[in-house]
Amino acid sequence: MSTAGTVVVYGATGHTGRFVVAELRRRGVATIVSGRDAARLAALAVEVGAVAARPAPVDDPAALDRAFAGAAAVVNCAGPFAVTAGPVVGAALRAGIPYVDVAAEIEANAAMFADHAGAAAAAGVVVVPAMAFYGGLGDLLVTAALGGRTAADAAHVAYGLSGWHPTAGTREAGAVSHERRGGRRVRFAGGGLRYHDDAPVEQDWDFPEPLGRRRVVAEFSMADVVTVPSHLAVPEVRTYMAVEAARDLASADTPGPVAVDAEGRSDQLFVVDAVVEADGVRRRATARGRDIYAVTAPLAVEAVRRILDGRTRAKGVVSAGAAFDAADFLAALAPYVEVELPR
């Protein structure tokens, strides 16, 4: 991919952005770091080496255009995406280059499909929102579990996390989403997003090892409720979260992630368990790995690599499952992610 062009990482100095920059550099991809803080970008460019820094405030279209000039693609890692996604994808479309983001904000993901699909299709540009642990990985698992089918009666994605030490960006994005919803919760049912005030419900979920049977919060909705039904005929998409992780996220006292290895990963373990119901048959696809923030980097970078190589199934605004061969994409995530698909 190193001959395919330079990739801009917007929000490069953030926790996830730094993982994305590192993954691009590991693959030998020419990289431009961009974002809103010129001093931090300059420091990162020195630290990483052999990258260019192009600061650009998100509310300055001309600066964004300069930052993306001559690039082959942009990965947006800067949240809250309710603020950054529109301006950054707009600049990408003006430049005629692919856009990938790592947004977990449900409303921002829905807005990407609603507000930019026409322009992206007209420009013949691939735009992939939520190409991350939340939204992208679950969508790929559900799509692979269906084995070529394009419809299901229901899709369930359960997140088994050993714990969740959220970044400052995660907390800020969550606060924005909470405000946009007026404190309500959201589900995908009856073929659409529904906002409600029902109290959270807990249940048990039998995760594959190493987690096993765990208590989960039912309808702890994540970006999968946007990505999965964007291309699959599924009237109901439900996501679940391990109680331990939900409590960590809810507590203001939970510290941020702490690196325990040379790659900067935390010791958090995860199992993502996708179960689809179609024609009376339940099919399961599972992914295991470490550190939900770190694993977003190979997801996003693999997406960019495939887009620039021309290995996509659609253009315009598309989710991971619609854009790529899901089973092949998941296999390419090794050794970061261990995947089990239906046989």
Q: What is the pLDDT of residues 44-83, one digit of tens each?
A: 999 999 899 999 999 999 999 999 999 999 999 999 999 9
Q: Which amino acid is at 103?
A: A
Q: Which CATH superfamily is domain 134-292 in?
A: Dihydrodipicolinate Reductase; domain 2 (3.30.360.10)
The stretch 305-312 carries a mean pLDDT of 97
pLDDT at 5: 87
pLDDT at 209: 86
The secondary structure of residue 228, as a DSSP letter, is G
The stretch 127-138 carries a mean pLDDT of 98
Question: Domain 7-132+296-327 adopts which CATH fold?
Answer: Rossmann fold (3.40.50)
Which has the closest alpha carbon to 66: 42, 18, 41, 32?
32
Q: At CA 296, angle to CA 24 and CA 326, rounded to 5?
A: 95
Residues ≥6 apart with Cβ < 8 Å to 175: none
Domain boundaries, the chain: 7-132+296-327, 134-292
